[in-house]
Amino acid sequence: MFSIGELSRRTKVKVPTIRYYEEMGLLPKAARTSGNQRRYDTAGLERLSFIRHARDLGFSIEAISSLIELQEHPDRSCETAAVIARSQLAEVRAKIKRLKTLEKELSRISKGCNGAGVSEDCYVLASLADHTLCDREH
């Protein structure tokens, strides 16, 4: 059995987050000692590791909840898991595309200012103040 602190150390999930996951129903309620301290078993540790990994990959709480539901029913088709994973992949790809656009625009803006002038003539400040100076929508 693991205390909440030990569970936190092993999974690198903060104690308040562990409590939150319990409240959300992602993590089963922990057993309690006579002193009312939470105690987690190996299954709790494994579940929290699953949640942590899914969060690291950017899955939403709702998606993780669906994945856990599927995991709890090993006889069901894994089609739902595949759909959720593909959806997350599409989201990540869209974010990468937006970030690449931002990178290009920030690079262009930063090249417009060598830092030698005064702020009144600064291209960075002018670009931030006037969106029409941007090359593209972002």
* Rounded distance between C-alpha atoms, residue 93 and residue 87, angstroms: 10
Which of residues 33, 49, 76 is at a domain's end?
76
Query: Does residue 42 sit in the same domain as residue 95?
Result: no
User: Rounded to an integer, what distance in angstroms lies between the CA atom of residue 50 and that of residue 20?
Assistant: 15
Rounded to whole angstroms, what are the CA distances from 27 to 30, 47, 135? 8, 7, 47
What would the pLDDT profile of 4-56 be if each residue is shown by its tens digit? Answer: 999 999 999 999 999 999 999 999 888 888 888 889 999 999 999 999 999 99
Q: What is the pLDDT of residues 51-98, one digit of tens each?
A: 999 999 999 999 999 999 999 999 999 999 999 999 999 999 999 999
Query: Does 135 have pLDDT greater than 90?
Result: no
Q: Domain check: are 68 and 97 in the same one? A: no
> Are 21 and 48 a contacting pair, CB within 8 Å?
yes
Do 61 and 101 fall into the same domain?
Answer: no
Q: Are residues 67 and 8 in the same domain?
A: yes
